[in-house]
Amino acid sequence: MSTLLLDQRPVTGDPILLHAFARRRRPLAASDLFRAMAGTGARVSDVMELLARAIADGLLGPNGFRNGALLYELTESGWDAVAADRLV
């Protein structure tokens, strides 16, 4: 059995959510994420769960406020996960 797959770092987080941040290259509020995830079939509760999981996994972090809404951005680990997903 090949060990090639064992050498690859597992990609964590939801790729669609993380790529939403990568495409826009700026901090996003939850409302921005709802718009970005529209048409994917994700419910509001799904997006919030994905957001919470990405924060807990260290892929997203807070980055200030815009019009009273908390903004999030990709962390270094988040950018690594996006890059790893693009290689697959």
Q: Which residue has the tokens 């939850």?
A: 30
Q: What is the per-residue burial (b if ≥16 Cβ within 10 Å, else e) of 56-67?
A: eeebbbeeeeee
Q: By the 8 A CB rule, do 63 and 72 touch?
A: yes
Structure-model confidence comparison of residues 51 and 1, the more confident one: 51
pLDDT, position 75 = 95
The architecture of the domain spanning 13-87 is Orthogonal Bundle (1.10)
Using the predicted structure, report yes or no on whether residue 68 has a pLDDT greater than 80.
Answer: yes
pLDDT, position 39 = 86
Model's pTM, two decimal places?
0.79
| Percentage of the chain modeled with pLDDT above 90 | 59
Using the predicted structure, report yes or no on whether residue 4 has a pLDDT greater than 60.
Answer: no
- Contacts of 25 by beta carbon, 8 Å cutoff, 6+ apart: none
